[in-house]
Chain A
Amino acid sequence: MPDQLLYAMEVTLNGLMAGVLYALVALGFVLIFKASGIFNYAQGVMALFAALTLVGIMDGQVPFAVLINAVFGTEIHNFGWEVPAILAIFLTLLVMCALAWCVQKFVMRHLVNQEPIILFMATIGLAYFLEGFGDLMWGADIKKLDVGLPQGLNDTIDQVTYGWFGYGFFIDNLDIFATVIAAILVIGLTIFSQYSKQGRALRAVADDHQAALSVGISLNYIWVLVWSIAGFVALVAGIMWGTKSGVQFSLSLIALKALPVLMLGGFTSIPGAIVGGLIIGVGEKLFEFLIGPMVGGATENWFAYVLALLFLVFRPQGLFGEKIIERV
């Protein structure tokens, strides 16, 4: 086979893997949107916050150390212990649940029945708040996150493909791992929402708030639950992206990558998030590979958006979304 074609195949495969990571972020959006009709712009910052917290707990950092030092003139930085990854992940999960409770208690409860666009702007405010809060709490320097996930070139695939085509494909172990995790998450979440009691309550709330209330479902409880699950998904996404490219501010920008994914897949569909992520991942990598050199490169920044924009004009609800019906 010609080299060019092989290379395109490799790019496609890598695009699929990147798409899985986008889908992972998009999942968090879909969950919250389905359950409360809120488009949560803060999802990306939540991933950043989760990753920061995880690193902070693992390294035994003192929260708000910089702030405390600035106010009291002390010189504290670390507790001086290190927490094993599993325990730290568990503790971070607790923090994300506490965050979910706070969001529900202080923000969302007061904005019930507002227009979706107001809620959207509130989550932008929340994103700003969390961004500053996370930096205040754990410091803004770029951190390395290592919870023991496999990384680097996958030798098996390299050798097998070399045997087949005489050209070894470069696939990152981490990407394969992320794909597996994403698959497990999707299956798990689907089972949860279809078969568990809470899942059923969640779908009921999504369908009709008032009807759900009248059969005795606690809205507050469901929303805390939904935001906690979104926090959990954010944590997973944060771990994956953080391991890949370090825990830093740019991590929060993956939310911006997830938006076109959602527009493609539809805001209300979990499979849509996955398929949309894959299409965007492959599309932007292939576009960069085929067209990018002609127009000066770095097309990845906008390709997804323009694709989604074109899509919106023809099918506003996305590939798998429910049809938008408007009544006067």
Chain B
Amino acid sequence: MIYREAGDFSTTYEADSQTFPIKFDRYRYYLVLAIAFGVIPFLVNDYWANAVLVPFLIYAIAAIGLNILTGYCGQVSLGTGGFMAVGAYAAYKLMTAFPDVSIIIHVLLAGGITAGVGVLFGLPSLRIKGFYLAVATLAAQFFLVWLFNRVPWFYNHSASGQISAPERTVIGIPVTGPNTEAWAQYLICLVFVFACAWLARNLTRGKLGRTWMAIRDMDIAAEIIGVNPLAAKLSAFAVSSFFIGIAGALFFAVYLGAVEVGEVFGIQKSFLVLFMIIIGGLGSIFGSFAGAAFLVLLPVLLKNILVGSLGWSTDLAAHFEFVIVGAMIIAFLIMEPHGLAQLWRVAKEKLRLWPFPH
């Protein structure tokens, strides 16, 4: 009733192959964009930006990146934290070396550098697969974090070993550094999220995305129908790392401002992003958003309920969070391996027929 495709007739191939072929979907999408760009920046305050919106947007980029590699191409990676660190440190080195260049270019270049590193660590994927590869990507995680911790050149020989973002502006408005307004933080992240999601969505439904999915479903069969596994796997690693690098650069420059690599980009971050795509839905761009939103909101919610209302201590609430997240991962894997995205799809199917099921 409230959701239908009756009256949508495609008369051209373009109309038939667009991302949102149903009119209702398309308008809802425009509405979400309008609210995100036009309404939220005026309402957002420091708490909402720092606790919920900015981390959600940045994790969404990282989740899209990992989803391309794991969900679309089937190569499980546990090196997300390390690749985010590459993005962060690349952005830092570029920002301090070329202060006159726009931060947007720096963030994009940081993504590009991460893509190169990702391809390098993706090389073993040509020989090994499954959890062998997952373990191999752990090598990237540990090695990269160690590298940024131990080689002073990466943190410009600063005494604390930390990196901190200098103030940079976009059209005169500071987006990094201590003087940044909440709405500016939010908006710069939103622009990157929008661009990344658009790019990812169109990549995954094009030729490249199809070769990835062929490799994921069965690599030998894919090879026989003419997919080059070398190109497919390495391009998946490159594109995935590009997004993850952008997420890392934003996480450092816009969100945190100062970073200690072992703490921020440790193995826990890799697992967090992996959990996001499992809960959100493997092989789905919407799922990346849903998973990121879920795992960013869950701790905030638990903290508000357990610590705020029930008066428990914070570490007790933190342990509870571990239990809940762990149980949810298992529950999702057992009951709905395609995650929240699949639940959303099912709900849409139901709504198309509701309230007349026949």
Chain A residues packing against B (C-beta within 8 Å)? 39, 66-67, 70-71, 106-107, 110-111, 114, 116-118, 120-122, 124-133, 135-136, 140, 256, 259-260, 262-263, 295-299, 301-302, 305-306, 308-309, 312-313, 316, 326, 328
Contacts and interface: CB of A to CB of B under 8 A. Distances in A.
B330 A306 contact: no
B150 A128 contact: no
B330 A312 contact: no
A263 B334 contact: no
A122 B330 contact: yes
B130 A117 contact: yes
Interface residues of B, number: 49
Contacts of A122: 329-330, 333-334
Among B123, B312, B321, the one with the most A-chain Cβ atoms within 10 Å of its Cβ is B312
Given A132-B321, A297-B150, A316-B127, A125 B333 contact: yes
A302 B142 contact: yes
A4 to B, nearest CB: 24
Contacts of A125: 275, 325-330, 333
B163 interface: no
**7 tightest A-B CB contacts, nearest first:** A132-B322, A129-B326, A125-B329, A128-B326, A305-B139, A132-B323, A296-B150
A122 B275 CA distance: 10
Contacts of A67: 316
Given A256-B138, A259-B138, A296-B150, A116 B130 contact: yes
Interface in B219-273: 220-221, 267, 271
Contact of A128 (B310, B315, B325, B333): B325
A160 B326 CA distance: 51
B25 to A, nearest CB: 30
A26 to B, nearest CB: 12
B41 interface: no
B146 interface: yes
* Most central of A121, A135, A260, A262 by chain B CB within 10 Å: A121
Nearest to A115: B130
Given A118-B337, A302-B146, A70 B313 contact: yes
Given A118-B333, A124-B271, A312-B127, A305 B138 contact: yes
Given A70-B312, A110-B334, A308-B139, A132 B326 contact: yes
Contacts of B132: 263, 312, 316
Dominant SS among interface residues on chain A: helix
Contact of B278 (A111, A121, A301, A306): A121
B267 A256 contact: yes
Given A121-B278, A262-B135, A306-B143, 19 more contacts: A66-B313, A107-B330, A110-B334, A117-B76, A117-B131, A120-B130, A124-B271, A124-B329, A125-B330, A126-B330, A130-B326, A136-B319, A301-B142, A301-B146, A302-B139, A302-B142, A308-B139, A312-B127, A316-B132
Interface string B270-294: 0100110010000000000000000
- For A117, A136, A328, the residue with the greatest tally of chain B CB atoms inside 10 Å of its CB is A117
B274 A121 contact: yes
B131 A116 contact: yes
A313 B131 CA distance: 14
Interface of B: 76, 123-124, 127-128, 130-132, 134-136, 138-139, 142-143, 145-146, 149-151, 218, 220-221, 267, 271, 274-275, 278, 310-313, 315-316, 319-330, 333-334, 337
B319 A135 contact: yes
A152 B76 CA distance: 42
Contacts of A120: 76, 130-131, 134
Given A124-B271, A312-B132, A136 B330 contact: no
Contact of B150 (A116, A126, A295): A295
Nearest to A42: B326
A95 to B, nearest CB: 17
A128 B322 contact: yes
A111 B149 CA distance: 40
Given A125-B329, A129-B326, A313-B124, A296 B151 contact: yes
Contacts of B128: 312-313, 316
Contacts of A296: 150-151
Nearest to A125: B329
A133 B127 CA distance: 38
Most chain A CB within a 10 A radius of its CB, from B131, B274, B316:
B131
Interface centre among B130, B132, B271, by most chain A C-beta atoms within 10 angstroms, is B132
Contacts of A263: 132, 135-136
Contact of B320 (A132, A297, A302, A328): A132
B325 A309 contact: no
A312 B201 CA distance: 33
Nearest to B337: A118
B137 to A, nearest CB: 9
A262 B135 CA distance: 10
Contacts of B327: 125, 129
B102 to A, nearest CB: 34
Contact of A131 (B151, B322, B330): B322
A106 B334 CA distance: 10
Contacts of A127: 326
23 contacts: A121-B76, A125-B275, A127-B326, A128-B325, A129-B327, A131-B322, A131-B326, A132-B320, A132-B321, A132-B325, A259-B138, A262-B135, A263-B132, A263-B135, A295-B150, A301-B145, A302-B142, A302-B146, A305-B138, A308-B139, A312-B136, A316-B132, A328-B220
